[in-house]
Chains A and B, each alone.
Chain A
Amino acid sequence: MKTRIKELRARHDLTQEELAKKVGVRRETILFIEKGEYNPSLNLAHNIAKALKTTIDDLFMFED
């Protein structure tokens, strides 16, 4: 799974720490999600998408 979190985070001028605080998780969780090494729950994915003013579909790309 690929993610556009890093790109959208930069567009909104947010650091990993700021995004983590906004969605109520630890900074490492955002780091691992950005690296594609952790698949977040649907709830967390929704919260991240909301914080970055986008949709889950736009944020995560699934590879077949």
Chain B
Amino acid sequence: MNEITRVRVMMAIAAIVLLASGLFVLLAEGVNVWSMVMFLTVVAIAAVALVLVVRALSDLRSGFPIQDERSKALNAKAGYYSFYLSMYLTLALAVVFILLEDREMTLPNSELLFIVVVIMGSIHIAFSTYLSRRKSRGSSS
């Protein structure tokens, strides 16, 4: 699969996911403050994804690859760090909600899942940005 086809497939998958999440948020819960927050987050993610896709396509047209050995290595490292950090944060969140459950102050599962996914995504973006600006020792480090 060449890079343009890969970008198109990713765009199609992202569009389906965003559409499904938007419909889920609007139809499942009805319109309240929380559903609006979720919907706006989905719209923000879509906007960021659109900017990234436009940038990737313009790079491709100029003859640069979307990813090279350095960006692949950084992405893998960011994924590794964000996996562990999100795991600990999710664990901490679970403990907080178990404690809050006794006081009947918990959130529905769908909203908790949404929070966890947003935390994971944000941590990955933060690590990718940080690592891409920082000195790295090599392709394997």
Contact = CB atoms under 8 A, between A and B. Distances in A.
Interface of A: 20-21, 24-29, 32, 37-41, 44
A32 B132 CA distance: 10
A20 B64 contact: yes
A26 B68 contact: yes
Interface string B46-59: 00000000000001
Contacts of B108: none
Interface string B99-141: 0000000000000000000000000000000001001111101
A25 B69 CA distance: 8
Given A26-B70, A26-B71, A40 B139 contact: yes
Interface string B63-90: 1110111110000000000000000000
Contacts of A32: 70, 135-136
Interface of B: 59, 63-65, 67-71, 132, 135-139, 141
B70 A25 contact: yes
Contacts of A26: 59, 64-65, 67-68, 70-71
B65 A38 contact: no
Contacts of A21: 63-64
B71 to A, nearest CB: 6
A28 B138 CA distance: 14
B75 to A, nearest CB: 12
A3 to B, nearest CB: 13
B101 to A, nearest CB: 47
Nearest to B134: A37
Contacts of A28: 70, 132
